[in-house]
Amino acid sequence: MIFLASQSPRRRELLSRIGVSFDILNVDVPEQRLPGEPALDYVSRVAREKADAGLLLVAERPRAWVIGADTEVVLDDVVFGKPADAADAAQMLRRLSGRAHQVISVVWLLGAGHEARAVCDTTVQFASLSSAQIADYVATGECFGKAGGYAIQGRAAAFVSHLSGSHSGVMGLPLYETAQLLRGAGCSR
């Protein structure tokens, strides 16, 4: 049985897209970068902690597999988490405007005696955004609960002038990499 250790509706939707049958595990893992921690190490640690917390919940189940994932927006070694409020979201979007940034997604797959990790690093180029565009976008509320203050699957798709990497990775779960992990563990065809 496959379990997704995530409260994200986007990750649920994405995993369903590739035909994986799974159950949800609600885990609560602090997402706080340690001083001096490289961005990739931070994203990987949080994803691993989610998978570990999920595995603890289903440890008594034979052949349980747990997927843990995390996705963050990174610009100039600053990790842009989820905005605290509208002003924070607007500030993030102003900083991303007209620039290329990284979106790092890490997926861990854990099972009895097995662990595997996949890393997806995508470069997203934003067009230059006017103050009105930013204010209008923030007013939609779509920015909340999203790393970097934007949802590429929503209205913010109009901000992306170029993408090099995984669209699903920017949404929160890189599907190619996740499918490879599952296939490598014998969880899917």
Mind telling me the catalytic residues? 70
Report CA-CA distances (Å) from 144 to 23, 33, 38, 70, 148: 25, 20, 25, 16, 9
Report CA-CA distances (Å) from 151 to 90, 141, 159, 189: 14, 10, 10, 30
Please report the sign of the dihedral spanned by the C-alpha atoms of residue 56, residue 61, residue 62, residue 66: negative
Instruction: Look up residue 60 and give its DSSP letter.
Output: T
Q: How many residues does the chain have?
A: 189
Q: Which residue in 9, 139, 146, 140 sits closest to 80, CA to CA?
A: 146
Distance CA 166, CA 174 (A): 6
Angle at the Cα of 71 (from 161 to 186), degrees rounded to 5? 115
How many C-beta atoms lie closer than 10 Å to residue 36's C-beta? Answer: 6
Q: Which residue in 48, 47, 65, 55 sits closest to 8, CA to CA?
A: 47
